[in-house]
Structure 1
Amino acid sequence: MTLNPLALPDTDDADAWTRFVDERADTALTRARAIVADLKDGSTRTADEVLNLWNDCDIEAANSSTFVSLLSEAHPDPAVRELAEAKLQATTTFLTQRGQDRDLHKVLSEVDAGALDATATRLLEHVLRDFRRSGVDADDATRARLTEINDRLVVVSQEFSRNVRDDVRSIMITPDQLAGLPEDYIADHPADADGRVRITTDYPDMIPYLTFARDRSARLALSHESTNRAWPANDPLLHELVELRAELASLLGYDSWPDFDAEVKMIKTGDAIGEFIDRVSELAEASARKDFAVLLERARADDPSITELFGADHSYYAELVRREQFDVDAQRVRRYFDFTRVRAGLLEVTGRLFGISYDEVTDAPAWHPDVTTYDVVRDGRRIGRIHLDLHPRDGKYKHAAQFDLVTGVTGRQLPEGTLVCNFPRELMEHTQVVTLFHEFGHLVHHVLGGDQQWSRFSGVATEWDFVEAPSQMLEEWAWDADILRSFAHDADGEPIPTDLVDRMRTANEFGRGYNARTQLFYAALSYRLHLERPADHTAMVRELQARHSLLAYLPDSHFQAAFGHLDGYSSGYYTYMWSLVIAKDLFSAFDADDLFAAEVAGRYRDAVLAPGGSADAADLVAEFLGRDYSFDAFGRWLGGSDAGPDGDHRSS
């Protein structure tokens, strides 16, 4: 059966998009409600018939929510974004009500699991677990309060995210404070009529400035603006999010929100999160302090009065150390990474790796002219569609993420996903290239895992603390010299030199430990804010930054207000580091001298990505590796050794 992609409005008219959002979201939600009514109509049905109706309801609920989640963050018209947020709230209310419906729960709980195959049995187990975690067994008053909490959580989360997205701050500098920046950056930032230059907190402005600008006072000023985005507006919202989550967990019988949240992840318990953070912090200690001492010494060579380094110092002095001690100049490196060539190279590399191809659909409708669209083809058959929305604009999501557009279902719906990022239109930093590979890993996982009978298991539907592992592993392909030379060419067409890539890889080992400690600071903050719920969030930021990160707290800053992951990941930011443990282990199965080796690449695709969420992540990994995952490869990597189990060098 040939499946067609979602028919988006073929216009930039906001009214047409408003009608599309209204009609698609309302129609899908109406169908979902009707299916619930059918399930409860008293008819005698087989186990398969009950689960297939449930699956139909899941499909409609996803169809009412995934596309509006994307449009609420990416559509250029504020009215469309606002309507999309409202539709997402409506779906959340429906799902809360469905999860607390005792008559519906009775229907599902009476299904004969013995009549189901293994995957359907897994689905039933997940559904019954969800009912329990929704409070279906609670009294009427408790269920009513749980509904209020869930509805309010959506509203507060949207407002929190909106404040981060819309609060673009800036500093005004003099042209001489552009010293150290690349020529093209300087050309793109001319002085205004008053002789001043505006630098914003948007990534294409901020990241190069913090990396190359020689003026420390300006770097600190820009960093201060960035870490104060959405402050003070998000302070009461974050307090409310944390308190509502704690109340929800308590009403359901859990000791804390981290316990509730971790139950459905690989880590299983809240206490295990704290133990994991401490374990990795100890592993990183020696490497972190050794490299950080080098960084501080280099800063003091410029200014002997410097006794501590801030985030605004880190990028700049790490770049100087790489340039002076490893002969890696990021300004020289970036001239090999033209955005258009990088995008083409990414498609070529991932297509070859996973046995797929990408056909650009030049006439595909989209929500903005920047969006490029491709059909994903395998063995001559379209298996999905992807949309790349990769440049910044006003009102758009400010970070980098993959958003589902359509949930893939075997024989019924084509999986479609979107990358929403903020990359420059011309030359990219290599770190941005790595980020693009990372985010594309989510996108290809969504498509390759999108051929599932059960909507619940489609795409990136694994445990949340495994979600990042496939993307983190794909970063490795952005560090291989031969792979980079296939698309990283300068303006004269010369490929990036192999010896430069070798030096980049060596230089990349510098700072690995203290960068890990910074990530652990973020993880500890997300965990302990939800565990302890302090009255003063900024005080906890200062405490945990001093404990875990070697970078100093920037006075009068409020990082937590713009830390968007506190919304989506809540207490689970540890998942980035947890996933990295698994990613390094997964990569140990590949041959560093032949990253396109068909046997291992195909086995990884089919064992880890294609199953989606139809099996536990630990089982997917064991199927691929032939053993349970371990800390061994991660420990070697964190300690500064990239040797795989056979002694071969592994890129990072």
Structure 2
Amino acid sequence: MASEPRTDIQPAPLDLPGTGDWLAWVSEHCEGQLAEARRQVGLVKAGSSDAPVVLAAWNKAETALANAEAVALWAEVHPDAGVRDRADDLSQQVQKYVTELGLDRDLYAAFDSLSGDTTGLDDDGRRVLEHTLRDFRRSGVDRDEATRDRLRELSERGVRLSQDFGRNIRDDVRSIRIAPERLAGLPDDYRDAHRPDDDGLVTITTDYPDLVPFLTFGSDAEARHELALAQNNVAWPVNDGVLQDLLAVRRETAGLLGYDSWPDYDTEVKMIGTGQAVADFIDRVGEAAKERAAEEVAVLLERKRRDDPSADSVATYDARYYSELVRREQYDVDGQVVRTYFPFEQVRQGLLDVTGRLFGLEWTPVSPQDARTWHEEVASYDVGLEGRRIGRIHLDLHPREGKYKHAAQFDLVKGIAGAQLPEGVLVCNFSRGLMEHDEVVTLFHEFGHLVHHVLAGQGEWARFSGVATEWDFVEAPSQMLEEWAWDADVLATFARNGAGETIPAELVAAMRRADHFGKGTYAVQQMSYAARSYWFHAVPHDDLTAYGDELQRRYSVFPPLDGAHMHCAFGHLDGYSSGYYTYMWSLVIAKDLFSAFDTDDLFAPEVAHAYRDKVLAMGGRGDAADLVADFLGRPYSFDSWAAWLAE
């Protein structure tokens, strides 16, 4: 549109109920936003031929829809099961309405009539119109009535299946019960937190704070095996059938829309472009990393044979443990020493200090009385830039019953200049005590999504607000931010042990050298996951476990785990569908983005602020490839990633 958004207006954050009636608030908020969306859609369909007027109403409709869709957050984090169930029900209503809009021919006609005359629209407005018309076509608005009816049915069924798939993972915390002596090798604070019960046994769950240290430090191989098997059987067998049904829904949907496969449909609006390009990328990375992975697993096997001379392979549940031993013995890096420098509270504050300095942001704690969140452990901060509040974030970082089991950023509010303040929620499952350095890296990664959400929430269009770029680019900014968690000068600002000693620079250097070990095995294992994601969607398979095991043997250096059904707990098969390749694709771009920074001064404001303004703050206002080229001064390439892999 020709007019500029009002940036002088300061919207207030969302008023959450705190200790009030969450069930009523969630319902009223979501239903109210749906009603507003319907009202604005009515204005779009009123017959105006003035493109700016029509798109202004559509922008308000999309804003209200985004607010309504945010109800999905409460299904993942709210401590009250009744609220979680209500949020799931409301999400179904919202997605049903979204499907109806995509198949509404009268609504489509209102936009199509504008395509011949875009007078009064600026580049962003024309991009909104182009993307809107594209999305209508991808929804099937141009199909016959019977096909549109079937697409509605499939969409509604797909939403229910997705919710079931995620809920089954979220609610199924498994555990093993073992004798306390089988905690050999675990740090003292871990053992102190896992005391024997009345039967003299210790319970270890599949939640991350239990799982990760156990698989990293536990010297009892059979106990690691038992826990890994429990983890890889979360949501089995129920999610096997759910996933098969979900895959069938997606395949039929793609076919009705005229695509050869779901991956072809899915990739049409991504950087990679086609389904075949995904398959080619998986093979390209797998081939590039194969030799290095074989060398690394040979080192692991040699080390394992010191404990078990008869060993002929390294299992998945061995990988973290023996990688830790190799790093300790060959690279002089002891993970149990490293973790003493990373108490959770220090890491959280350090992260805020680092990102504040890097991007010129201020993080101001908000009291529980003002933020009134859903749980007492949630920490809220107002985000400032140049003295002006530009957003609010909420950090929900520890596990609890009924909560989302992995790590992700969720939208609470999409930012619209002068209308509503961007708010994001970081949901993780970290220990309340000492953190592994891998967890520190993960926290930096996930926090990168929050920064992206807030910085890109300052514009006019809901369509481009927040992390609104192509889906296979969204991980790149977060993966690049991980680099700051590996820099000695950066870590020295917050990494201190209980005696107040700063993490030694020589230890960080050793950690970096040790981190190079395992890049090959990481890459091929990632490709085994990406292959599941792609091929499960591309071609039907009667036995997902058997086919998944086949892909594991084809791409990874670690054999399949007998008796495991990891696809049932592989939550990314829902959200990323056929696109799990995204993580490695984004890493390629992240390494290229990072090449623009001076490793001797990672806080240099000129490059950091250029990156902030040209990539993060742009949201979806440009194609990701163009945003990257604008920042780098050239198109992105594989060169930096290839150099990293060979390093």
TM class by shorter chain equals: over 0.9
Q: CA deviation at 1:113?
A: 2.5
Separation in 2 of the partners of 1:437 and 1:174?
Answer: 36
Q: Does 1:505 align with 2:512?
A: yes
- What is the rounded CA distance, in whole Å, between the counterparts of 2:261 and 2:18 in structure 1? 47
1:19-45 C-alpha deviation (Å, 9 max, x unpaired): 111111001101111222222223x34
Q: Aligned match of 2:250 in 232, 245, 249?
A: 245
In the alignment, what sits opposite 1:398?
405
Identical-pair percentage:
59
Tell me the secondary structure at the aligned position of residue 614 of structure 1. Answer: coil
Matches within 5 A, 1:252-291: 252-291=257-296
Distance 1:10 1:422 in 2: 22
Indicate the residue corresponding to 1:206 in structure 2.
211
Encode CA deviations 1:580-616: one digit per residue, 9 max, x unaligned: 0000000000000000001000000000000000000
- Which amino acid in 2 is paired with 1:210? L
CA distance in 1, matches of 2:547, 2:102: 35
Distance 1:298 1:493 in 2: 35
**1:352 matched residue in structure 2:** 357
Amino acid in the other structure paired with 1:303: D
SS of 1:445's partner is: helix
Shift of 1:311: 1.5
Q: Does 1:159 align with 2:161?
A: no
For residues 214-225 of structure 1, what are the structure 2 equivalents within 5 Å? 214-225=219-230
1:47 to 40, 46, 51: 51
The answer as to 2:95 corresponding to 1:88 is no
Report SS of the residue matched to 2:177: strand
Please say if 1:8 is aligned against 2:16. yes
Equivalent residue in structure 2 for 1:31, among 29, 36, 46: 36
CA distance in 2, matches of 1:200, 1:440: 26
Aligned equivalents of 1:74, 1:596: Cα separation in 2: 34
- Paired with 2:188 and 2:545, the residues of 1 have a C-alpha distance of 38
Equivalent residue letter for 2:564: S
Measure the CA separation in 2 of the matches of 1:308 and 1:609.
Answer: 44
After superposing on structure 2, the runs of 4+ consecutive aligned residues of structure 1 that deviate more than 6 Å are none
User: Hey, what's the Cα distance between the residues in 2 that align with 1:239 and 1:593?
Assistant: 50
Verify: 1:562 aligned to 2:566, yes or no.
no
Structure 1 segment 36-115 matched on structure 2, within 5 A = 36-42=41-47, 44-66=48-70, 68-111=71-114, 112-115=117-120
1:487 aligns with 2:494: yes
Give the Cα–Cα distance (whole angstroms) in 1 for the partners of residues 258 and 454 of structure 2.
37
One-letter code aligned to 1:155: R
Q: How many angstroms does 1:635 deviate by?
A: 0.3
1:509 offset after TM fit, Å? 0.1
How far off is 1:115 after superposition? 3.8
What is the CA distance between 1:308 and its match in structure 2?
A: 1.4
Question: Structure 1: how far apart are the matches of 2:250 and 2:342?
Answer: 43
Q: CA deviation at 1:376?
A: 0.2
Alignment-mate amino acid for residue 429 of structure 1? E
- For residues 445 and 468 of structure 1, what CA distance do their matches in structure 2 show? 10
Q: Out of 118, 122, 127, which is 1:117 matched to? A: 122
Name the amino acid aligned to 1:356.
L
Q: Which runs of 5+ in 1 are unaligned?
A: 642-652
User: Which residue of structure 1 lines up, in the alignment, with residue 5 of structure 2?
Assistant: none
Whole-Å separation in 2 of the counterparts to 1:189 and 1:39: 59
C-alpha distance after superposition, 1:443-468 (max 9, x if no partner) = 00000011121101001000000000
Post-superposition shift, 1:291? 1.1
Match of 2:152 among 147, 154, 175: 147
**Residue 79 (structure 1) shift:** 0.4
Tell me the SS of whatever aligns to 1:193. Answer: coil
Aligned-partner SS, 1:419: strand
Helix, strand or coil for the counterpart of 2:219?
coil
- Matching of residues 247-646 of structure 1 within 5 Å: 247-362=252-367, 363=369, 364-639=371-646, 641=647
Task: Give the gaps of 5 or more residues in structure 2.
Answer: 1-8
Contact 2:49/2:113 (8 A) holds in 1: no
2:545 aligned counterpart, secondary structure: helix
Between Structure 1 and Structure 2, how many residues are aligned? 635
SS of residue paired to 1:360:
strand
State the Cα distance separating 1:383 from its structure 2 match: 0.1
Greater shift, 298-307 or 112-121, is seen at 112-121
| Counterparts of 1:192 and 1:102, CA distance in 2 | 63
- CA shift, 1:537, in A, is 0.3
Amino acid at match of 1:54: W
Is the 8 Å Cα contact of residues 448 and 478 (structure 2) preserved in structure 1?
Answer: yes
Which residue type is aligned with residue 164 of structure 2?
Answer: E
**How far is the alpha carbon of 1:114 from its aligned partner?**
4.5
CA distance in 2, matches of 1:563, 1:310: 19
Amino acid at match of 1:46: D
CA distance in 2, matches of 1:508, 1:153: 40
8 Å CA contact retained: 2:468, 2:620: yes
Find the aligned partners of 1:56 and 1:3 in 2 and give their Cα distance.
15
User: In the TM superposition, what is the alpha-carbon distance from 1:282 to its structure 2 partner?
Assistant: 1.2
Deviation for aligned residue 1:245: 0.2
Local SS of the residue matching 1:423: coil
TM-score (norm 2): 0.98
Question: 1 CA distance for matches of 2:203 and 2:79?
Answer: 23
Offset, 1:10: 2.6
Root mean square deviation, CA, Å: 0.7
CA distance in 2, matches of 1:10, 1:369: 9
Contact 2:175–2:205 (CA<8 Å) still a contact in 1? yes
| Aligned AA (1:2) | Q
Aligned partner letter, 1:50: V
Q: Is the 8 A contact 2:51 2:119 kept in 1?
A: no
Distance in 2 between the 1:101 and 1:452 partners? 28
Q: Which digits, 9 at most, give the CA deviation of each residue in 1:228-258, with x for residues without a partner?
A: 0000010110001100000000000000000
**Cα-to-partner distance string for 1:202-224 (whole Å, 9 max, x where unaligned):** 00001100111110000000000
